[in-house]
Amino acid sequence: MGLLDKLSVWLGGGRVEASVLVLGLDNSGKSSLLHALRSADQRPQHDADYFTMVAREELQLALAHPELRARRVPLLVLANKSDDPHALPAAHVAAALGLERISDKPWHVCATSAVSGGELAGGVAWLARQLRDAALQQRR
């Protein structure tokens, strides 16, 4: 079972529809992370749109888009290549992206490695909790 299947289970087993924004500089491992998310999945496609954007300015532009600005969508930043000895800690990645200025939506930085899978499941679990909590809030 791949992590996207686990996300569905963590959300209660229902059909998962999500848009996932994958941030990353060139050669940062975005494709490897997506492969790690789908590695054990046998279905050809999930109900997810993958957008690859680069760095802080692009993140700010994306978050300023009316559809994202008007909604409290969670933001998960996967700081890949944490197994590299020169990798920045998650807190430094958050500061470099200016995430501390985001107060209208939950965000989380997860240091991970697409090669080892380290902490990738933890990041997906955080996202699942955020989506589940948002769905519960909408029902109230």
- Confirm or deny that 81 is annotated as ligand binding: yes
Tell me: pLDDT of 107 over 90: yes
- Confirm or deny that 82 is annotated as ligand binding: yes
pLDDT tens-place string over residues 34-55: 777 665 443 433 333 333 345 6
- Confirm or deny that 105 is annotated as ligand binding: no
DSSP 43: S
- Confirm or deny that 30 is annotated as ligand binding: no
Contact 33, 78 (CB under 8 A): yes
Tell me: pLDDT of 62 over 60: yes
What are the structural domain ranges in the chain? 3-139
- What is the mean pLDDT of the segment spanning 14-36? 67
The predicted pLDDT at position 106 comes to: 93
Which CATH topology does 3-139 take? Rossmann fold (3.40.50)
Residue 51's nearest CA partner among 12, 85, 80, 21 is 21
Which residue, chain included where needed, has tokens 């087993």? 13
Contact 109, 90 (CB under 8 A): yes
The predicted pLDDT at position 53 comes to: 43
Question: Could you give the count of Cα atoms lying within 13 Å of 66 in the half-sphere of its Cβ?
Answer: 0
The predicted pLDDT at position 52 comes to: 38
The predicted pLDDT at position 2 comes to: 57
Average pLDDT for the chain: 74
